[in-house]
Structure 1
Amino acid sequence: MFLAAQLIVALIALLHVYILVLEMFLWEKPAGLKAFRQTRESAAATKVLAANQGLYNGFLAAGLFWGLSLGTAGQPVQVFFLSCVLVAGLYGAATASRKILYIQALPALLGLGLQYLS
């Protein structure tokens, strides 16, 4: 279970790096517009907000990578950051898009479950 938990945590961390790139650097580009179903006008108006969100996603990824780098001693760190991802995903699903529930919250919940089983 430990290896499965670490693999899920790594994938979630990589996902948040990808979200960081989309929100900070590709928000107004075709990939960002498509991923977030934005028009060019709305993307231009929300660019600064998106970059801020991207930075926070980067912090989540950094925390997960930090936890991974600590090996078994990093499990409490991973649980903390997975919990942050879960809360952010639940809030995003409730306020922005139900899609966030499946992309962010459920993988975090799976990761937490695997952490507790390992």
Structure 2
Amino acid sequence: MLANVLVALVALIHLYFLILEMFLWDKPFGRRVFGTTAEFASASKVLAANQGLYNGFLSAGLVWGLMLGSAGRPVQLFFLGCVIVAGVFGAATVSRKILWVQALPAAIALAAVLIG
């Protein structure tokens, strides 16, 4: 049960990222979240939307794994692993904050799925 809640939380986090990157990137809230200027946000809007789409795929994969019940464990492990890799890469290349916001929740969920 705890593992499912944690996987769902990671899926919701990535759905939130999708919304931020695809729809709010160049809006005041999105610019505040990412600390960008209006000029940068406008110039990078298409790239951010692409990134948001990928975050949506991660979310969808985690939801798919949850919907499969116990048979979805391998799917959950795969997508949680993808989230961790993306979080570590983002932390190394963009901001260390990504490690805590993206990779750590996924690592905790991964551990819960493995233990459960």
**TM-score, normalised relative to structure 2:** 0.99
1:115 corresponds to which of 105, 113, 116: 113
Could you say what secondary structure the match of 1:38 adopts? coil
- 1:64 aligns to 2:62 (yes or no): yes
Q: Which residue of 1 aligns with 2:45?
A: 47
Instruction: Give the letter for the 1:74 counterpart.
Output: G
In the alignment, the residues of structure 2 paired with residue 4 and residue 30 of structure 1 have an alpha-carbon distance, to the nearest angstrom, of 36
Structure 1 residue runs without a partner (length 5+): none
Structure 1 residue 31 displacement after superposition: 1.3
Instruction: Give the letter for the 2:64 counterpart.
Output: W
In the alignment, the residues of structure 2 paired with residue 25 and residue 113 of structure 1 have an alpha-carbon distance, to the nearest angstrom, of 32
- 1:99 aligns to 2:101 (yes or no): no
Instruction: Give the letter for the 1:69 counterpart.
Output: M
Q: Which residue of 2 aligns with 1:12?
A: 10
Structure 2 residue runs without a partner (length 5+): none
In the alignment, the residues of structure 2 paired with residue 64 and residue 28 of structure 1 have an alpha-carbon distance, to the nearest angstrom, of 27
Q: Which residue of 1 aligns with 2:31?
A: 33
Could you say what secondary structure the match of 1:60 adopts? helix
In the alignment, the residues of structure 1 paired with residue 98 and residue 104 of structure 2 have an alpha-carbon distance, to the nearest angstrom, of 9
**TM-score, normalised relative to structure 1:** 0.97
Structure 1 residue 26 displacement after superposition: 0.3
- Aligned-pair identity in percent equals 63
> How well do the aligned residues superpose, as a CA RMSD in angstroms?
0.5
In the alignment, the residues of structure 2 paired with residue 22 and residue 96 of structure 1 have an alpha-carbon distance, to the nearest angstrom, of 17
**Count of residue pairs the alignment pairs up:** 116
Structure 1 residue 30 displacement after superposition: 1.2
